Amino acid sequence: METTLRGVGVSHGVAIGEVRHMGTAVLEPPAKQIPAEEAEREQGRARQAVEAVAADLVARGNLAGGEAQHVLEAQAMMAQDPELIADVDRRIAVGSTAERGVYDAFAAYRALLANAGEYLAGRVADLDDVRNRIVARLLGVPMPGVPDSDQPYVLIARDLAPADTALLDPTLVLGFVTEEGGPTSHSAILARALGVPAVVALPGAGEIAEGTVVAVDGSTGEIFVEPSDEKRAEMESASAARKAALSAVTGPGATSDGHKVPLLANVGGPADVPAAVEAGAEGVGLFRTEFLFLDDSKQAPSEEKQIAAYRAVLEAFPEGRVVVRVLDAGADKPLDFLTPADEPNPALGVRGLRSLLDHPDVLRTQLTALSRAAEGLPVYLEVMAPMVADRADAKAFADACREAGLQAKFGAMVEIPSAALRARSILQEVEFLSLGTNDLAQYTFAADRQVGAVSRLQDPWQPALLDLVALSAEAARAEGKSCGVCGEAASDPVLACVLTGLGVTSLSMGAASIPYVRATLAKHTLAQCERAASAARAADSADEARLAAQAVLSGE
């Protein structure tokens, strides 16, 4: 009998197929003692396994490219963390086997994160995956991971580690469903990059029996278990109609009455550019530069290396707009040369612009590299700072841009509620705002963006979050300046209409979402978007806001 479940839809599209479950996790190794004379050999085994797993993660990243490559390289760095390895060595020295030493050391680090308030809990799935891979190699058992199948299927897992998500074969994995995760988790971001329908934060998903037919709607978050023929036909028809609508609408983003809303792409480096160009992106609204710095956590990349990478992206959008975010280090992206090692709550500590102001040489080199990369190109370069809290932050960044001789617009990201509340003050120092709705939701609701248990508070439809967007957009309009959105909120086509109605002047998203947003905007007038925005803000919950906006846009 058909039953309906609801999680959080994070990647558009419809998938209908049989369920396959993710391979089981590595069993806990036995806690047996070894003689002291075997400790050195076991330590060597542990180090070899760590290096092999790190190399495998890097190789997977090279194969996947794009955003996935950066995520997997960061995960490889996690495997080689000196403090973790030192803890493994200590445990082996007092009698643990290599596999037990690894297992216990990772468990202690996991507990440390939890006791710190789980500000880094979004990386627990990554941490568990690294542990499982190292222990599996030491035990000589197969790696846990995506099931082998020569027939297409819908994958169900407790959570998906980046190493698994990055190499999913879209011709076999029709879609995936996870019990954990949130709308801005690594798995969600990579699913959108792959164009695979996905639903996360669905408790009990693992109880759906292997081989059961399910229909997954990655837009609504609905899962239909054993769907009827009528439901399957309905979803397939809606999917076909959606694809037809996407191909029928081309050109710059705009509402049906001609109000322009530039649609830009979020990119993590040169590898992401081809997909953005193919999707018709009008430029880049968020160029994440962390990928360059994660290659070596010990030192910043040279100015010449940065110039080459930046120019490769700038050249892809002649006469287009490219918005570059300077290094956003700290919290879940620690760098040995930049971020403190002993912060109790890294997400609330020295991250983003705060780190750069503490290390002005790193910021100066990056700004100079950006300036040199843009020389002679007809591109509209804009550079923005992450984690701006107030006018003093904005002024410090603007001064640094001027001192570096940067011929570009410089702006501030609105990711902290104080920046939204005092947006007009910040705009006295910078020329534009860009809303990072992922972090803005996290800090507004004190809800870690990677923790599935608080996913309802990460929902970008939360009215309180929409209020902060409206405040920022109103401030920008009053100052005659622009205010874009580069967080994951922009990838939701209906929410994109609401953001337009709130006064947002551009939308930036993963390349796969651009056609959906373009087609949806083209069906509605600016006035309809404004009414939908008002209806959403008048609601008391994310679900009510979504339904209210949908009702307005559908003419109900």
DSSP, res 270: G
Catalytic residue (choose from 70, 359, 401, 486): 486
Amino acid at 385: A
Catalytic residue (choose from 186, 359, 401, 497): 186
What pairs with residue 178 in β-bridges?
157
Q: Mark whether 529 is an active-site residue.
A: no
C-alpha closest to that of 324 among 276, 394, 269:
269
190: part of which helix (H) or strand (E)? helix 186-194
Amino acid at 363: L
Residue 187 CB burial class (10 angstroms; 0-12, 13-18, ≥19): buried
Cβ partners under 8 Å of residue 359, min gap 6: 337, 338
Do 179 and 451 form a contact (C-beta atoms < 8 A)?
no
Can you tell me the distance from the alpha carbon of 365 to that of 181, in angstroms, rounded to the nearest whole number? 36
Query: Reduced to 3 states, what is the DSSP secondary structure of residue 167?
Result: coil
Do 213 and 256 form a contact (C-beta atoms < 8 A)?
no
Q: Give the C-alpha distances (Å, rounded to integers) separating 434 from 247, 386, 443, 490.
A: 29, 9, 16, 12
Q: Mark whether 486 is an active-site residue.
A: yes
Do 426 and 419 form a contact (C-beta atoms < 8 A)?
yes
Residue reference for tokens 């759906």: 208
Q: Give the C-alpha distances (Å, rounded to integers) separating 534 from 223, 424, 502.
A: 30, 22, 8
Cβ partners under 8 Å of residue 121, min gap 6: 113, 114, 448, 450, 451
Residue reference for tokens 């874009």: 484
Q: What are the counts of helices (DSSP H) followed by strands (DSSP E) for the chain? A: 23, 16
Query: Which two structure tokens, joined as six digits, stand for 332?
Result: 């879940």
C-alpha closest to that of 477 among 517, 441, 427:
427
Query: Which two structure tokens, joined as six digits, stand for 200?
Result: 């996360």
Residue 119 CB burial class (10 angstroms; 0-12, 13-18, ≥19): buried
Can you tell me the distance from the alpha carbon of 390 to that of 548, in angstroms, rounded to the nearest whole number? 33
Can you tell me the distance from the alpha carbon of 166 to that of 187, in angstroms, rounded to the nearest whole number? 8
Do 11 and 192 form a contact (C-beta atoms < 8 A)?
yes
Can you tell me the distance from the alpha carbon of 254 to that of 396, in angstroms, rounded to the nearest whole number? 35
Rounded to an integer, what is the distance from CA 385 to the centroid of its chain? 18
Can you tell me the distance from the alpha carbon of 511 to that of 488, in angstroms, rounded to the nearest whole number? 12
Which DSSP string corresponds to 420-463? HHTHHHHTTT-SEEEE-HHHHHHHHHT--TT-GGGHHHH-TT-H
- Annotated catalytic residues are 186, 486
